Amino acid sequence: MSNDYHPFSEAFLANPWPVFRRMRDEEPAYFVEDLNTWALSRFEDVLQASNDRTHFTATMGTSIDMLLVDGPKPSAMVFMDPPEHTLHKNAVNRLYAKNAVALLEDTLRTRTRSLMAAGLESGEIDVHALATEVALRTIADFIGLQYAEIAHIRSLLDVFYHREPGHRGTTPQGMKAFGEIYEYTMALVRQYRRNPPPPGTQIHTWLEFAIDGKQMTDEEIYFSIFSFTVTGSDTIALVTAGTVYYLAQHPQQYAEVRADHALIPYAFAETARYDQPTNVLGRRVVADLELHGKTISAGQNVMFLFASANRDEREFPEADQYQISRRPPRTLAFGAGIHACIGQHLARLEGKIILEELFAAIPEYEVQQQRCRRTFTEFLQGYCEVPIRFRPR
């Protein structure tokens, strides 16, 4: 196939689906020569590789930008293999267990209603902005940050992840914002060492956490805060906003969901499959392997194209159709293996509650199609603006 795929290609990112289909059909192990990186596009390949600790490591990075820069990587859970990864994950995993997250339902409903109030009076709500606010306040509670602190970090993250046409990857303004995030968050960590947040928060756990008597450094806690802020506020908003957008594109399915709110989790799950927000993550190869007649060599990188894998017809019949009736036995919507999303139960509950509250409070609304906007970068994709209008309450 011709060289249509490149993770930094603006033309590809604007409409990746035809290219993904050709990759799955013609060259499922695709080599991006200038990056010395392979791209896996089929569901089964991505699933197997996500669980393969013999041939792949996360210690050299899991995002494209990290993998392409040689040298030591930050000591954070996302860049660890077992046994270190297991120890760090177990330290906070109980907070995100399904039964623990379920106890937050009333808090999340109250928060969502409060944040919707002004929009209900004005007659317009941006679903992405609402979901972002709910998610940010919630993940701040989990981490142990004040809302003003995480909101400032989030504002700098928006600059860091913004992409300019004609510029590959992070912009100079984005790199400056990344430095500001580092300085600001490191100052917070020093402050919290003097005055720790309450027990049960992640920062409190990280301050007390030690392996073989060695506690986490300020920088390790910084990168942990950074990664949980990103994962705890980006994907939930994109999937929730996307659900409202795609239901508007499919009136019959929208009517079914409005008539039976028990279908909301299935609509949310189908959006996460159909328009996977985390479109690519990766690993460094540590041992040669053969795949689809190609030799993938140690020292090279491999990208897991989750967005493509979740549209793989070999796993999902009529994969390019949005169908809330799906009940797939397997999915990569929240990743797979030891690095599967730790907050997936929280994300599902947040999405469910936000959509339930929207539908309950607003009998009829109209999605402002001409004002909906997508973001597409080498890391994230999805609808980042989905305004709806309705009769003010």
Locate the domains of the chain by residue range: 10-70+93-362+383-389
- The secondary structure of the chain in percent helix, strand, coil, rounded to multiples of 5, reads 55, 15, 35
**What residues contact 245, with CB distance under 8 A and at least 6 apart?**
367, 372, 383, 386
What burial class does residue 307 get, using C-beta atoms within 10 Å of its C-beta: 0-12 exposed, 13-18 middle, 19+ buried? Answer: buried
Read off the pTM: 0.93
Q: Residue 371: name the closest of 128, 167, 149 by CA.
A: 128
Q: 42-75: b or e for each residue (b if 16 or more CB lie within 10 Å)?
A: bbebbbebbeeeebbbbbbbbbbebbbeeeebeb
pLDDT at 384: 95
pLDDT at 14: 86
Which portions of the chain are predicted below pLDDT 50?
1
Q: Residue 231: name the closest of 62, 373, 356, 6 by CA.
A: 62
Amino acid at 334: F
pLDDT tens-digit series, residues 94-126:
999 999 999 999 999 999 999 999 999 999 999
CATH label, 10-70+93-362+383-389, candidates 3.40.190.290, 2.60.40.2230, 1.10.630.10, 2.170.120.30: 1.10.630.10
pLDDT at 3: 56
Residue 72, helix vs strand vs coil:
coil
The mean pLDDT value of the chain amounts to 93
pLDDT tens-digit series, residues 254-292:
999 999 999 999 999 999 999 999 888 999 999 999 999
